[in-house]
Amino acid sequence: MNLIKTNIKPDFYWILLLSCIVLFPNFYLAAVSSDLNGSFFWKISYLLISFVIFFTPSLFLKARYFFLLHGIFVLLAPIEIVHIYLNKMGIMTGFMIAVFDTNKNEVLEIFTSMLPIILVFLFIWVVYFFILFKKIKNRYIISDTKLRIAILAVFLFIFMSFFAYMYRIAYILTPKEEQHRVPNVALSFFTLKFEKIYPCSIILKSIYAIDINVNVKKNREELNKFSFNAEKQSIKEREIYVFVIGEAARYKNFSINGYERETSPLLSKTDGLVSYSNFYSGANFTNISLPLILTRATATDYYRWTKEKSFVDAFKEAGFKTYWIANQGAGNKFIRRISKDADEEFFETKNLEATNTYDQKLWIYLDKILNRNEEKVLIVIHSLGSHFRYNFRYPPNFEVFKPGFKDRSNYNNYNLVVPENKQLFVNTYDNSILYTDYFLANTIKKIENQNTVAFFAYTSDHGENLFDTDENLVLHGSSEPTEFEIHVPLFIWSSKKYQEIYSEKWKNILANKDKKTSAKILFYSMLDAADITFPEQDLEQCFTSDFMKEDSVRYVLTPDMSVKSFK
Ligand SMILES: [Zn+2]
């Protein structure tokens, strides 16, 4: 005690203040994290390790360099803090992929909805660097070299005991015949713990995200050679297949699925429309979910999408004209890969901030394509659906459920994103579902008017939380996905001519509608629906087949890239 007391330097309190700023994400996570919740021991251990990681560089660096190094992470801290705020957990790989993927709209969207917080961050940055350059003396925080060495030894001891503990767990969990894997397993457990500690979290997740991107590039050549050997079983008639990808639409809020509010009056009246009652998405985050819808990748075999093409490519192989129409940004690498390989791509330039990005704007492109009268066509429509800031997704005449959010100024006050405003959220969200109903029903009409063999399917990339559970989750992408985030609609419609020519398939589509199933069937089902065959077709995964099997367990991939199972 004496030693410390006599050593207090005039800039001690400045050092303390800067340290608190640097460690703020860690304090914040310890306070609100759903993982650490309820365990005082874990919270203390978490903070202790956080402190050790934070302080270690000061044993090698003088104070100014030390805080300059941490300054980088103070600048990046808003990403972590906003993430904790929204998800009650630290940054996740999916989010970093979105950051790198120039799916910047999705990221910016989140940030700009919290302008007051951003201003606070700006203020803290200024304060931090002012103190750093004006108040901190450039000397070692612990001036005594022997003491520094002693602390380093203690830190090393802590790390090593921690690793030993993980090693023991790995040893217990690894089966006898696989004991050679224990060091690797232990190491992965060890790093897993650091993934939660800022700034290790953001460094590790960035490395994972970059690794995925490198993987995609590396596989491009291999991918170009890839073929499904898909063939179309030919019929004379003109055939149109339309696949619509929704955004954040949850099953429960459509009246066609039993919701008490009349949110889908038009779809309910649409002849030849089937709603699947027990269909789950494969992920609860856009970027992760899209490959699970479009390729043979699954929650348990995710990276398959980096090595294989999508069903859009398979349609093209089979001789279809393929089109990609999107009301979502063109920045997503995976989507871009598919849309570029399609015969034509249309991206409605989209600014999520704008209030006129309604999905019906895509009809110009749809009409244009349909007017070409091509023989065999696949059109994928990537809609904006119920993307956050729900009231931006529909014109004023769809404001049926009130009161709802009116304009953007509403959201800028982050105090509004609180459980007390649940009804505002639900009303606005339901209006966006009502608009989705209008968009889908009229899209179907357009195809129906072509008077030919036509097939339509719609699903959503994931659902949405609306303060439904005790944890009061809102939006999507939580580490423990709720039913609301993954139970999504699957609507299938076909024309009379389709039902005549493919009567067997249509009969099966109706018969399978209540089976427990998930996004992984879409790839196989879309191809079989169009009577496209390929050597690896799997009829057990086709809603068009009477061999279709129910899922016993459904797997969902979280933004954390961890697999969760659902019955
Ligand atoms: Zn989404």
Identity at 66, one-letter amino acid code = F
Give the model confidence (pLDDT) of 192-247 as tens digits.
778 888 899 889 888 877 876 776 677 778 888 899 999 998 899 999 999 999 99
| Rounded CA separation 495/475 (Å) | 35
Instruction: Divide the 567 residues of the chain into consecutive groups of 10 and give the mean pLDDT of each group.
Output: 55 91 92 70 86 92 93 90 78 70 61 76 93 90 91 92 85 72 82 84 85 73 89 92 97 97 97 97 93 94 90 96 86 78 78 70 94 97 91 92 75 62 92 97 97 98 91 82 95 97 97 96 97 95 96 89 87
- Going from the Cα of 196 to the center of ligand 1, the distance in angstroms, rounded, reads 24
- Going from the Cα of 245 to the center of ligand 1, the distance in angstroms, rounded, reads 10
Q: Which of 197, 192, 172 is nearest to 182 (CA)?
A: 172
Residues 6+ apart with CB under 8 A from 285: 94, 95, 462, 476, 477, 558, 559
The alpha carbon of 279 is separated from its chain's Cα centroid by a whole number of angstroms, namely 18
Which residue shows structure tokens 């499904």?
228
- Going from the Cα of 287 to the center of ligand 1, the distance in angstroms, rounded, reads 7
Alpha carbon of 154 to those of 57, 66, 147, 160, 280: distances in Å? 14, 20, 11, 10, 49
- Going from the Cα of 461 to the center of ligand 1, the distance in angstroms, rounded, reads 5
Query: Which pLDDT belongs to residue 7?
Result: 56
- Going from the Cα of 487 to the center of ligand 1, the distance in angstroms, rounded, reads 13
Neighbours of 216 (CB within 10 A): 17
- DSSP letter at 283 equals B
Neighbours of 329 (CB within 10 A): 22
- Going from the Cα of 330 to the center of ligand 1, the distance in angstroms, rounded, reads 14
Identity at 209, one-letter amino acid code = A
Neighbours of ion ligand 1 (CB under 5 A): 247, 286, 461
What 3-state class would DSSP assign to 328? coil
Average pLDDT, the chain: 87
| Rounded CA separation 548/441 (Å) | 27
| Rounded CA separation 313/194 (Å) | 40
- DSSP letter at 548 equals P
Enumerate helices (H) and strands (E) in the chain, giving the number of each: 22, 15
- DSSP letter at 495 equals -
What backbone phi and psi angles, to 5 degrees, belong to 121? -60, -45
- Going from the Cα of 126 to the center of ligand 1, the distance in angstroms, rounded, reads 35
Q: Are 440 and 385 in contact (CB under 8 A)?
A: no
What's the pTM? 0.69
- Going from the Cα of 263 to the center of ligand 1, the distance in angstroms, rounded, reads 20
- Going from the Cα of 94 to the center of ligand 1, the distance in angstroms, rounded, reads 12
| Rounded CA separation 498/274 (Å) | 14
Query: Which pLDDT belongs to residue 2?
Result: 45
Give the model confidence (pLDDT) of 132-153 as tens digits.
999 888 889 888 999 999 999 9
Q: Are 299 and 283 in contact (CB under 8 A)?
A: yes
- Going from the Cα of 329 to the center of ligand 1, the distance in angstroms, rounded, reads 12
- Going from the Cα of 326 to the center of ligand 1, the distance in angstroms, rounded, reads 13
| Rounded CA separation 416/422 (Å) | 9
| Rounded CA separation 13/9 (Å) | 9
Query: Which pLDDT belongs to residue 436?
Result: 98
- Going from the Cα of 383 to the center of ligand 1, the distance in angstroms, rounded, reads 10
| Rounded CA separation 265/84 (Å) | 38
Q: Are 38 and 164 in contact (CB under 8 A)?
A: no
What backbone phi and psi angles, to 5 degrees, belong to 357? -100, 45
Give the model confidence (pLDDT) of 50-95 as tens digits.
999 999 999 999 999 999 999 999 998 988 888 888 767 777 766 6
| Rounded CA separation 22/325 (Å) | 44
Residues 6+ apart with CB under 8 A from 259: 252, 253
Assess whether the previous peptide bond of 25 is cis (omega < 30° from 0): no
- Residue 183, token pair as written in the block: 């060091």
Strands 490-494, 453-460: pairing kind: antiparallel
Residues 6+ apart with CB under 8 A from 25: 77, 80, 81, 84, 90, 198, 199
- Going from the Cα of 104 to the center of ligand 1, the distance in angstroms, rounded, reads 13
Query: Which pLDDT belongs to residue 34?
Result: 62
- Going from the Cα of 198 to the center of ligand 1, the distance in angstroms, rounded, reads 26
| Rounded CA separation 240/448 (Å) | 10
- Going from the Cα of 353 to the center of ligand 1, the distance in angstroms, rounded, reads 16
- Going from the Cα of 397 to the center of ligand 1, the distance in angstroms, rounded, reads 25
- Going from the Cα of 541 to the center of ligand 1, the distance in angstroms, rounded, reads 24
Query: Which pLDDT belongs to residue 87?
Result: 67
Burial call 388-409: b when 16+ CB within 10 Å, e when fewer:
bbbbbbbeeebbebeebbeebe
